[in-house]
Structure 1
Amino acid sequence: MATVRNPGARPGLPMWVLSSAQCTTATVSMPRPNSQVQPSLNRSTAHWSSHLGGVPQMTTAALLLWSVTTMNEQSVYSPLETTDRVTFEVVKNSLYKAAEEMKIVLAKTAYSPILKVAGDYSCGIFDQSGSMVAQGPDLPIHLGSMPDAVRAVIEKFKHDATEGDVFIHNDPYFGGSHLPDVNVVTPAFYLGAILGWTCVRAHWPDIGSATPGSYGAVTDIYGEGLRMPPIRLYHAGKVDQNVEDLILANVRTPDERLGDLRAQVAANHRACRRLATLAGKYGVDSLTRIMQEVMDYSERLMRLMLSELPDGEGVFSDFCDGDGIIEDGESEDATFTIRMRVRKHGDSLEVDFNGTDPAVSGPFNAPLSVTASGVYCSLKMIVDPNSLIPANSGAWRPIRVSAPPGTVVNAQFPSPVVYANHEISHRVADMTFGAMADFMPENVMACSQGTSGIITLGGLDPRNGQRYVSYETIKGGLGARPNKDGINVVASGISNTMNTPIEILELSFPVRVDYYEITPDSGGRGKYRGGCGARRAWTILDHDSRAAVCLEHTQSPPFGIRGGEAGAPAKISLKLQDGTIRPLLTKGGFNAPKGSQILLEVPGAGGYGDPGERDSAAHESDLLEGYVTVRDEGLTG
């Protein structure tokens, strides 16, 4: 027998009594909803692996036991007064499954590879006021900002929405993130009553502007592309053709954009039907009440888990490579600094960005809701590594994020924002780990690649004479963890996008991928090694392309934790047909002539712990796999 207590648990919380280190089945005796009797585990199961937060990772049965135990601790979980526990769970899971179903519909019907393959979108269900009740398994970057986008629609159309209406907008200053992220919002009705709202935020590969892919280095939001405040696209089920025509006239690939737009509309409609089915079964009042209870449930779990972590305060600062604008009289892009202070006390936490540099000229300024999304992402990883807390607006109530207006983390109109949506989110997500390492180092990880590694290409496809736009995010290393290496070449931090297979890329666009591989020696050294980055080369085939790049951590490599070394920085250059290699700026547009080759290396991740303490067997494995190329003779592990 083994007795295991949740690390950091308050006195009085029951222990898990485990009879086996690894089993596959378990039977849990469930108590009545208001019972003080704790559940019993007849056949125990626990498969321990790496963890960031105060709750170790376990198999499903042990997680269920922990969840039921906390739900019955009356000081934290008051009983549900009007909804029985079974109905609550059924409806809660139905809401999340509806959000997942939205994702499936979108993936099966979208046209562009970045949506149908890479998955650069998020789907959510919102209550009558615009609070997020359920988000699909999508992008953490959208956790904090999607509710503001839905509320902007509600504020404008709350007295004028009818069944069959569909609204669209992408304005960062109305709750959007950046212009390529287009929000399609639909009210869900049942018997004439609004149950809530559904929303798909999807990245369009092009939204206009002077640069294909809409990733140019511009100095105000007017230069970033088509900016849409909340507008009605469908009325009572019928599209407003004038609005649709206006949108499609301002993008480079209108047929593809129309396919993506209709996929978003279809995904919303599917969720609306699911909500109507739930309302028909449980009643409108019951469904809308349970929506509130789902968010309350997430808040209580977040407060409980926060309370089990150490109190403390930490600070961290980091600098960004530049905004893509070389100012008059300067010879290179100027860096700027973000400063963060984290204070955790009891069941709440505050993140303050006082002292952060003012807004920059280029598109590296984030709306506060985008900055908050990066913070929320890391905090959920730290506090809830086993994903017990449903992702919704309730989970963020115990967390306060503040920043002075007019800084790079709290943009004000008309500052440009397109890079900041992901680059600031990445940066503050990693900085949150750095700040909290001051008082809970065993609960955080080292810095990951910290950039989305974006390349866009555009021009006329010589194979068919049609205009094309390609948008890709190239993955790097995941930060080393307190007891495990980082992961190589994976979406990390605020991102959850997938790799676009080379076959699809070459079929869709006039390019050839010459190599795409793990970069040796790019993961930071440490007791646990940071994940390796990737390197890739594209050749532009039979035409001249207009390209753009957005890349960070070229000057500020991803940091290590507790003596771990930094990961390798990013690099980008253009190799011309005559063999000349020309370094490129890390942000903004550039010409890629016929036959030229784009050479990109995305960052590796930081290491964790003293490199001298690395296990020698792990080092030998790294040599064998090609993750490192130089033998380290000084290991003591």
Structure 2
Amino acid sequence: MTALNPAGETLAGVAPDDFVRVDVDPITLRVIGGALDSIAKEMAQILYRMAYSSLIRESEDLGAGIFDVNGRELCESDSTPMHCGSIPAYIRGIDRRLSGTYQPGDVILHNHPYHGAAHSPDYGIVIPIFFGGRHVGFAGCTGHVSDIGGNFPGLCMDVVDVWAEGKLMDAAKIYDAGVRNDALIQHILDNVRTPEQNAGDLEALIACARLGERRFVELLERYGVDVVMSAAEKWMDYSEEMLRRRVREIPDGEYEAPLSYLDDDGKNREVPLAVAVKVKVTGDDVVVDLTGSHGQVPTAFNVPFEGSVLPTVASAVRTLLLDEALTEEYVPQNDGCFRPAKAYAPEGTLFNPDFPASCFARFSQINRMFDSINIALADVLPDRAVAGSSAALCAIAYSGLAEDGQSYWVYIEINEGSYGARNGKDGLDCVDTLMANTRNNPIEELELNRSMIAERYELRDEPPAPGQYRGGIGSVRTWRMLTDTFIGSEADNRNDPPKGLAGGHDGLPGAFTRNVGTEREETLYSKVTQERCAAGDTLEIRMPSGGGYGDPLLREPALVLEDVLDDFVTVADAERHYGVVIDESTMTVDEDATARARASRQAA
């Protein structure tokens, strides 16, 4: 499967045949739209408040929503777009095996990356919704659990195939017509290193989907199937038309991003992996062509096409063209936003691997793809495009054998990068970017529960990328291990640093350093498999800083002074990069000297 609409070429626009489409007045339409939005938000609240694992509970690495019988998204939670965007593919993967067998009370667990899952650690729970004896839709949610078995705790890079990743559940009914399959659930928990966490996460996922089922049935009871589904169809069509309207404003053509490179595949060191992105616009359709990207690799560093590539393309197009800060009209996120965006990736490549290649660690690649789509369209969307962002998910798993010797402690943290600048705004500092949208992991959470202590957690010392609008600043975090600890990482340091736009400077790459500042200092690769840190060792994680936007000599001197006062740049940096001369005795801008310095730079 190389080219496909995220909603499914054969499904997009096909309405269920078990309801009559009726006219819905504007007020009722708004009420139902608001109700759908509230259902998805409430589902997500249940999931992240009930979950046991830090990734779901602290980082909100989750997604939830309501879907029709064809798997089309009616609403989604305000959480990670990767999770929300992939649930329709989960449903299609489940439907290929269970279509025609759904019953009230079913609860289905799924995580197969070649049958729709974003990747195997993202457990998906799907519940078919019945009303009046008819199957009318699905409630679905996903969340990243701490461990799924497999070769290594938490995260794995150097694994031979998809089976080595861990326990695969391919449309497994853990409740069949309301009857819980305790033997199957126990089998699943017996094959992971964190059974207590996984059990808690599984119950949270089930509770989330059941809440969605209940709330949607309540909506149907109040307004009837015909009215609710007709309103949902109208909202989907509206979102599609709003997005297509923005696509039509882009001149037809092919827009290509400069070739960028990921560090390596986690095994073959010093072999960078090309990411090639070309955006083709024809009328009101967008196709993202990934031809020219690196071939699939013999590690876990591949990307499931349907569960990860397609949601990324849809999210990137929607984010750029329907930015909420620049769009006055309310446009809900639903299946309509998927329809104008398509993707192509040759089979057997990084973004469309052949079964059974492992694709456990796929986030740095899709974030880089999102970043490249943005860069490709920068010339035709100068007021919307963002300079290069950190564009890598820095997920690190720390683990060790628990005191009881019967299980492992596993902690997965997300480290924060930064956004590039955009026309009119500086880049955001120390935040997760693009497809991730996860929250930071509080250091106290790990210190209370694990054998590590944080010695540093703050913004990087280096100045941000200069520009009329400066780039965002990445984070730096230092852990000291209190006991022998294993580390697994699927990050990307961006040895190919984030690109500046319109005259802005490039950002800065990241780095992993063990025992920094000591005679035992050692630079680690961004991707490691079960790297051992001894008790007393430190690990410094330095995240990339985003690119700048625009000529630095056009930056308002008052903003440069503000950055100096905030210790983001030095007085010398201000003059060297921005031509702004600051009187250190009064810490004010010397306007005459600044005018002369800038005139001299511009003349040169």
Question: Is the pair's TM-score, using the shorter chain for normalization, greater than 0.5?
Answer: yes
How do 1:561-580 and structure 2 match up within 5 A?
Answer: 561-575=501-515, 579-580=519-520
- Pick which of 463-472 and 112-121 moved more: 463-472
Alpha-carbon shift at residue 81 of structure 1 (Å) = 6.0
Alpha-carbon shift at residue 577 of structure 1 (Å): 11
Shift of 1:311: 4.2
Q: Which residue of 2 aligns with 1:426?
A: 367
- CA offset at residue 133 of structure 1? 1.1
* Contact 2:276/2:293, CA 8 A, preserved across alignment: yes
Letter in 1 for 2:153: P
Three-state SS of the structure 2 residue aligned to 1:167 is: strand
1:275 has 2:216 as partner: yes
1:451-470 map, 5 Å:
451-461=392-402, 467-470=408-411
1:200 is aligned to 141
Equivalent residues of 1:481, 1:528 under 8 A apart? yes
Letter in 2 for 1:551: A
Pairing 1:42-81 to 2, within 5 Å after superposition: none
Q: CA deviation at 1:442?
A: 2.9
TM-score, length basis structure 2: 0.88
What is the 5 A alignment of 1:406-445? 406-420=348-362, 422-445=363-386
CA distance in 2, matches of 1:81, 1:237: 33
Match of 2:340 among 398, 403, 428: 398
**Which of these residues, 487, 492, 497, is aligned with residue 547 of structure 1?**
487
Instruction: Give 1:416's aligned amino acid.
Output: S
1:299 to 240, 245, 249: 240
Partners of 1:544 and 1:216 lie apart in 2 by 20
Give the drift of 1:587.
0.7
- Cα deviation, residue 189, structure 1: 1.6
The residue identity in structure 2 corresponding to 1:232 is K
Is 1:585 aligned with 2:488? Answer: no
- In the other structure, the counterpart of 1:18 is none
Give yes or no for the alignment of 1:92 onto 2:33.
yes
Tell me the residue number matched to 2:469.
528
Identity %: 32
Q: Deviations over 1:493-531 (max 9, x none)?
A: 011111121212211211101010100335322111110
- 1:18-33 equivalences in 2 (<5 Å): none
- Give, in angstroms, the shift of residue 144 of structure 1: 3.7
CA–CA distance in 2 between the matches of 1:144 and 1:232? Answer: 22
Runs of 4+ in 1 over 3 A off after TM superposition: 308-312, 461-466, 576-579
Residue pairs, 1:185-334, within 5 angstroms: 185-316=126-257, 317-326=259-268, 332-334=269-271
Distance in 1, Cα, partners of 2:538 & 2:402: 17
1:384 corresponds in structure 2 to 322
- 2:278 maps to 341
Instruction: Give the aligned residue type for 2:413.
Output: E
Partners of 2:439 and 2:219 in 1: CA distance: 32
Equivalent position SS for 1:354: coil
CA distance in 2, matches of 1:266, 1:372: 28
Provide the aligned C-alpha RMSD in A.
2.0
Q: Does 1:538 align with 2:476?
A: no
Cα 1:401–1:554, aligned 2, differ >3 Å: closer, same or farther?
A: closer
Query: Once structures 1 and 2 are overlaid, which stretch shifts more, 215-224 or 103-112?
Result: 215-224
Q: For the residues of structure 2 that align with 1:82 and 1:442, how far apart are their CA atoms?
A: 38
Distance in structure 2 (CA, Å) of the matches to 1:408 and 1:305: 30
Amino acid at match of 1:173: Y
Distance (Å, rounded) in 1 between the aligned partners of 2:404 and 2:418: 35
Distance 2:403 2:540 in 1: 22
Q: Which residue of 2 aligns with 1:354?
A: 291
- In the TM superposition, what is the alpha-carbon distance from 1:579 to its structure 2 partner? 4.7
CA distance in 2: counterparts of 1:462 and 1:393, whole angstroms:
48
Task: Tell me the residue number matched to 1:513.
Answer: 454
Shift of 1:486: 0.4
Structure 2: 5+ residue runs without aligned partners? Answer: 1-20, 581-597, 600-604
Contact persistence 1:577–1:595 (CA under 8 A): no
In structure 1, C-alpha distance between the alignment counterparts of 2:518 and 2:573, rounded to whole Å: 37
Distance 1:424 1:508 in 2: 31
Given candidates 334, 343, 365, the residue that maps to 2:302 is 365
Cα deviation, residue 336, structure 1: 1.5
What secondary structure, in the 3-state scheme, does the structure 2 residue paired with 1:632 have? helix
TM-score (norm 1): 0.83
Unmatched tracts of structure 1, length 5 or more: 1-79, 327-331
Give distance in 1, aligned partners of 2:316 and 2:556: 28
The one-letter amino acid paired with 1:377 is: S
